[in-house]
Structure 1
Amino acid sequence: MTTTASPVADARMLGLAHYAARGLLEHVLARHGATFLEQVALRAAVTAESPQTPDGLVARVRAAVKGDPADARAALDALRARELLAADGPHLLPTEAGRSLLTTVAAESGPLSARVWAGIPAEDLAAAGRVLALVADRADRELAALEG
């Protein structure tokens, strides 16, 4: 009898899990004409403790996805064009339509996410959480050093 060893967590496994879960979210977002980066930018505006300038939102998006600032700005422009974000002086604020989109996407993606995570023992989730937090912290430090 052959037993299959559990896969070892590494960058490839992390990437595969990330893109599998992201694929689910992108499927939901596509039904609403939104992209992943637009959702990240809109969520950054909604969850900010204070009103954000476009530069502030670009920084928050970049901190979340480590992407090109030009891509973050394009996402903000798309959100403004769809009236999901609106200018208020120097700030960009989420509109009621923007908040509604996030609520709808959460409601539609929630059951998918629940099925993905269902049945995973709490101690496994805690261990994975500790490892992922450590990996994210180390990767952030390495990226900061590269960007000097």
Structure 2
Amino acid sequence: MTSSHGTIFQQSVTLRLAAVAEGPVERDRLADGVTGALKITGAEADSVVDERTSTETAPITARIYDGIPAEDLAAAVK
């Protein structure tokens, strides 16, 4: 398996964990799930999760949350 395929697989596992979560999932909880699912270290899982939230997704996320007051966003996290 090439590292490119490995990355794709790791990303798909990460996306699946986020998709099956009941509601929003905190980053640390997602990284813990990736650690268990892929049997990798916490640092490796952090890297996988960070790749998913890279600059590629930042513009999309910004558009989704644009115009929502900060206090509403903070309340949604709780």
TM-score scaled by length of structure 1:
0.34
**Residue 11 (structure 2) aligned to one of 38, 43, 47:** 38
Larger Rg: 1
**Residue 61 (structure 1) aligned to one of 26, 31, 34:** 34
1:83 paired with 2:57, answer yes
Deviation beyond 6 Å, 4+ runs, structure 1: none
1:60 shift after superposition: 0.9
Match of 1:124 in 2: none
Q: Which has the higher contact order (CA 8 A, sep 6+)?
A: 2
Match of 1:118 in 2: none
Distance change (3 Å), C-alpha of 1:39 and 1:86: farther
Unaligned runs of 5+ in 2: 63-72
Letter in 1 for 2:13: V
Q: Which has the higher strand share?
A: 1
Question: Per the alignment, in what secondary structure is the counterpart of residue 50 of structure 1?
Answer: coil
Question: Per the alignment, in what secondary structure is the counterpart of residue 55 of structure 1?
Answer: helix
Letter in 1 for 2:57: E
Question: Per the alignment, in what secondary structure is the counterpart of residue 40 of structure 2?
Answer: coil
Distance in structure 2 (CA, Å) of the matches to 1:35 and 1:67: 15
1:50 shift after superposition: 2.5
- How many residues align structurally? 62
Question: Per the alignment, in what secondary structure is the counterpart of residue 35 of structure 1?
Answer: helix
TM-score scaled by length of structure 2:
0.59
The alignment's C-alpha RMSD in Å is 3.2
Unaligned runs of 5+ in 1: 1-22, 92-148
Name the % identity. 27
